[in-house]
Each structure stands twice: as C-alpha cells, then as structure tokens.
Amino acid sequence: MQLRYNFRVYPTPGQQIELARAFGCARVVFNDAVRLRRQAREQGLPYVSDAELSRQVITGAKTTPERAWLGEVSAVVLQQALADLNTAYRNFFASVTGKRNGREVAPPRFRSRKGNRQAIRFTKNSRFKVLDDGRLRLPKIGDLVVRWSRTLPSDPSSVAIIKDAAGRYFASFVVQSTDEPLPELDSEVGIDLGLTHFAVLSDGTKVTAAKFLRRAARKLKRLQQALARKQPGSSNRRKAVVKVARAHARVADTRRDWQHKLSTTLIRENQAVYVEDLCVAGLGRTRLAKSVHDAAWAGFTAMLEYKAARYGRTFARVDRFFPSTRRCSDCGRINEKMTLNVRAWDCPCGAAHDRDVNAALNVLAAGQADNGNDRGAQVRPGLVPAPRGEAVTHPDAARSTRSVAGISVLQGGEDVNVGTSPTT
C-alpha cells in the first residue's frame, strides 16, 4: 500500500526564493502545454502527444530567449508538471467517454500565479536525498530543515514540496508501506453519521460532534471583517489574507487530528466497521451545508477505509437508499418517513427506539448480510421467476389485455378471477 507522510519544512529566505522560482517555472510549463493543445484543437490539428509536448514546452523552450530561465530549476520539476497535465487530460477523456465513474471531469485550466497553494514534485530521477542529519536535499534548492514527527517506513519514491495559503511549507513523501494486521477480534460495529452526534455506534456509544468551524466562527468573522476593510493591493491586505488563511488552517488541522484519533480507535477495537454511504455532495447543497462541511464525513470514512485495509480489518459501505432510520431493528418493519426533529419512536411491535442507535443497528445488520460470504458471492438471493403452477391464468389461455376498470379480460376466453371479483 502506498501512503503519504507530510512533514513541516522550514526553508531559509534564500531557499524560499528558489522554491518560488521552481513554483513559477512549473506553472509556466503547465500553462504553455494547455495553450498548445487548445490551439491545436481550435485549428483542427491532431492531438499533441506527450513526447511532442515535452519537446516543445521544455526542451525547445529552453533554447529561446523568452523561456531560457527554465534551465534554472530542476528538469524533473518541469516534467512532473507535464505529467500532472497528461493525467488531467486522461481523466477528462475517460469522463467524456463514460469510462470514468462519478461526476464529469472538466478539461484542464490555466494555473494562476495568484493561487493560494503552490506545489512541485521530485522523483527518484532528481536524486533527492534525506541526509543523516535529517535535512532534505533537493536539486538546485539546497538542504531543507525538516521537522520529523516520525520515521518513514521505507525509502520514499517521490517528494512534493507544498506551500499552502498560510505561507507554511510541507514535504509530502510517498512511501510503500507493508500491511500490519492486528489481532483478530469478535466485535463488529455499525456507524450512523450525523450532525448533533458525529457518530452513533451500534453498541449505543454516541460521539458528540466537535463542530470546529462553528467554534471558530467568531474569530473568523472578526478576521474577515478586518480583511474587507483593507485597501486592495496593499501590504496590509496581504497580511490580513495570511491571517485568515492561518485561522482556517488551524480549524482544518484540528479537525483532521481529531478524526484520525477517532478512526484509529474504531479500527483497533473492531474487526469490521460498517457505515452508510451518504451523498455528501447533495447534502452540501441544502440549508445544512455549513454543518455538513464542518462534519467532514467523506474524509472520516476515507480514513476508516484505508486504515482497515492496512490493519487487516473489514470496511464496507451500506447502500445510501437503505432505510436505516425508518426500519425497526427488532421486527424489520419499515415505518413512514420521519422528520429530523423526531429523535425517538415506537414500533407497533412494542419496541422503543432511539433514532440514531436504531439506524446504527440496521447499518450493522445490513453490512453483515452483504459481507458475510468470504468468497465474495452475493448473499441476498436475486429475483427468481415464479413457478408455472402459480400463474393466475391458465397456461393455454390466450393473451390477455387490461380493461379500463383494471380487470384482466381474455381475448377469446374467460378470466379465471372474474367470478370472484366484486366488480363483475
């Protein structure tokens, strides 16, 4: 399994200038390649291949006075910018032709020099190296100071240097990690995700939603108001932008750390974890959009999925159309739709349910039913044609039609249910 490890780096002022130059060169190469392919399409010319694109926007461009400064940065950085563009085009073509699932992917756009996030990537061909003293040596940039929080499990295959909107620099290593199976357990859990309680487990445990964005709303409002009062293009406005970005980064980092701790606990304490497949994109367009984005369900379920694969656990998603809330976990009866303010309800079978706990129990049962076969076969039986003897009409009867009143009338014959029908 490939994993990504992020560490904070602290470049010197001179290294920051070199990194800014590398960011700019990678952006220019990317935009030149996008422009070249767009012009070829508008003029009706053949699609520019990857090799021809590299020859024109990198190799040939370095020999021109307008792009001679591309030689001041590592060639691997420029090649990886083109690799990102080619990947974007392949995803776009696969989406257009229907080979890619999910929402449609738009064609690549130009990168802006005013973007809040900049990134470049170095592969093994660039000969980057982690020195014995812990510094990261990058070609034509120098040795960067890295704040190591843990050791890498193996030699990295690539490293990306990222500058975020808050002005922080990170080194993101891609490493090949081996699976570390945990001891098998007998416990399994179903999770119902919500807003009041972030997660309700099938054993009755309720995890209160932290609501990091809501708690920081007052400070964010004050910083946004201060930003709005600054003169556009001034130094004070740039400083205010960084302050707002740092406040948002603090919220995102705190939320991510909290979700990592919760997901690790769930994976370590349960052999199987089942969650409901929520339509986060659709819920993000409702009046609860701010709370939905603050909860970050998609990021949390992604953590559960990759940690389960790494530690030998079972993770599965239950169909989003499964009526987990309205279904009685005792008798299986499906009740009418309930509004959000109904937090508890009674089933005619006599069972009293907490809305969220009942949903978590149903998610657990549905997940166990769909994943109970170790060979991956379908557990639930499919549709089977009815036996011939159970047909309502005689096998040798003529084809029937449907009358206006809804009573089946045989052509040239007699309906077997006419004598018992109250409408005859």
| Average confidence score pLDDT of the chain | 87
Q: Is the pLDDT of residue 66 over 80?
A: yes
Could you tell me the pTM of the whole model? 0.81
Q: Is the pLDDT of residue 421 over 80?
A: no
Cα separations (Å) of 339 from 80, 89, 206, 276, 326? 51, 44, 20, 19, 11
The whole-number pLDDT of residue 372 equals: 62
- Of 32, 276, 294, 415, which one is the catalytic site residue? 276
The whole-number pLDDT of residue 272 equals: 94
402, containing H or E segment: strand 400-402
In the residue annotation, 253 being an active-site residue is answered as no
Residues in the chain: 424
- State pLDDT tens for residues 36-65: 999 999 999 999 999 999 999 999 999 999
Q: Which two tokens stand for residue 294?
A: 């603050």
The whole-number pLDDT of residue 336 equals: 83
pLDDT tier, 126 (very low <50, low <70, confident <90, very high otherwise): very high
The whole-number pLDDT of residue 373 equals: 55
For β-strands 408-410 and 400-402, DSSP reports them as antiparallel
Cα separations (Å) of 122 from 6, 16, 159, 415? 14, 16, 5, 78
Give the three-state DSSP class for 56: helix
In the residue annotation, 192 being an active-site residue is answered as yes
The one-letter amino acid at 243: K
- Of 192, 294, 305, 415, which one is the catalytic site residue? 192
Q: Is the pLDDT of residue 302 over 70?
A: yes
pLDDT tier, 115 (very low <50, low <70, confident <90, very high otherwise): confident
CA 179 to chain centre: 22
The whole-number pLDDT of residue 407 equals: 34
- State pLDDT tens for residues 318-347: 988 888 888 888 888 888 888 888 888 888
Contacts (Cβ under 8 Å, ≥6 apart) of 405: 423
Cα separations (Å) of 3 from 176, 182, 307? 6, 18, 11
- Of 188, 294, 356, 415, which one is the catalytic site residue? 356
In the residue annotation, 276 being an active-site residue is answered as yes
CA 191 to chain centre: 18
- State pLDDT tens for residues 221-233: 999 999 999 999 9
Where does 234-353 have alpha helices with state H? Answer: 235-269, 280-283, 289-295, 297-310
